[in-house]
Structure 1
């Protein structure tokens, strides 16, 4: 369905002549369209030109020596600008420039600059009989739909500046206020801190869970 880039770009093309020919050819086509469709036709030409240039530049990097490739970039003032086009070539290597004639340029850059994030979107474009701006945006939107957040696991731990941590029991809300009043009474009668009493209570519960303690039934003496 889609034409591979190798079918679009001839190997070892001459940079200046091919780019000049492509631009002149597209300029002639643009002159023939009506004013009503001018902006859309021009936008399509921009997108295709970006992809054509990206594929062409990638081809030059593969075929030229490192020295000649750097000279190419230097001579045309592209040094530092080539990376985004190489990303485009890498992201859309399974397509042809014509495939994206209905996609605006910014979307192409968005997908290429974040190819890992949007790899699923790029792969799904291969399944479309026609790639449109609306179709691409729809795929992007579906991928960005937030998943239902999982409830966070409750934690009593807090950390202080020196890196040490401490536990903090959340507020206990009871209509009867039984836990709070009982704890306060123990503190008043025994002169203990709330932390000490809670620690003892947790230790006793842990011992019971491990079978080291048993609950005494009312009216039954131990050992009966």
Structure 2
């Protein structure tokens, strides 16, 4: 726990509040939620205060402050909370549990629409935030990808890769192999020649023998 610093008001929580057993369950429930609300507000108060210190202090003074309390590296998550909820007051999130605050801040770009919608609400609670998050996660119908034969090389170049050809008759594979054996050509050379001939036919430069009749 950080030592209280002048100018900062921290919520005081009595250690007895964490006793595992309370006789009156109704009182215990009310007490538990109130304590959780205090924690959430304290997190936001601390985040705003830390962001203010970073803004007002010199870099050297700010680093010294972190060093005094052993917070080097830990401060980043709170600065992110301050940046995410800068347009709110700590009291606005009194009905939201702490983990949700961290979740929204850690992925603030992903949940920016959720945060924007919270600005329009008069009352923010855990159920409201959870509902908005779930709607944000609704998967969108993915558009079918256009088939591509291109593959990338590490140097930025690319090459084409023809997918496997599955045929019951195996005619294409058998014919290609025979051509390779008889003509001493590679599969790539034969495929390139075949594509060039087909392209010429599509352009009207070639005609099939049967088309001459």
**Is the shorter-chain TM-score for this pair beyond 0.5, marking a shared fold?**
yes
The structure that has the greater radius of gyration is 1
Say whether residues 1:60 and 2:53 are aligned partners.
yes
CA distance in 2 between counterparts of 1:70 and 1:158 reads: 48
What secondary structure is seen at the aligned counterpart in 1 of 2:92?
helix
**Structure 2 unpaired stretches of 5+:** 18-25
Other-structure match for 1:37: 30
1:191 equivalent to 2:182? Answer: yes
Measured on the aligned residues, the alpha-carbon RMSD in Å equals 3.6
- Alignment equivalent of 2:161, drawn from 159, 167, 181: 167
How many aligned positions are there?
197
TM-score under structure 1 normalisation?
0.69
Aligned twin of 1:109 = 102
- State whether residues 158 and 168 of structure 1, in contact with CA within 8 Å, keep that contact through their aligned partners in structure 2: no
Name the counterpart of 1:6: none
Question: Which of 173, 196, 208 is the matching residue for 2:201?
Answer: 208
Residue in structure 1 matching 2:81, options 88, 107, 111: 88
141-150 or 46-55, larger mean C-alpha shift: 141-150
Name structure 1 gaps, 5 residues minimum. 1-13
- 1:16 aligned onto 2:9: no
Distance in 2 between residues matched to 1:181 and 1:66, nearest whole Å: 69
Structure 1 match to 2:20: none
TM-fit CA distance, 1:158: 6.3
Contact 1:156 1:170 survives alignment (8 Å): no
TM-score, normalising length: structure 2: 0.72
Give the direction of change, closer, same or farther, for the CA distance of 1:164–1:23 in structure 2 (3 Å limit): closer
What is the CA–CA distance in structure 2 between the aligned matches of 1:185 and 1:110, rounded to whole Å? 58
SS of 2:8's equivalent in the other structure is helix
* Cα shift at 1:116: 1.9
The 3 A distance-change label for structure 1 pair 16 and 207 is: same
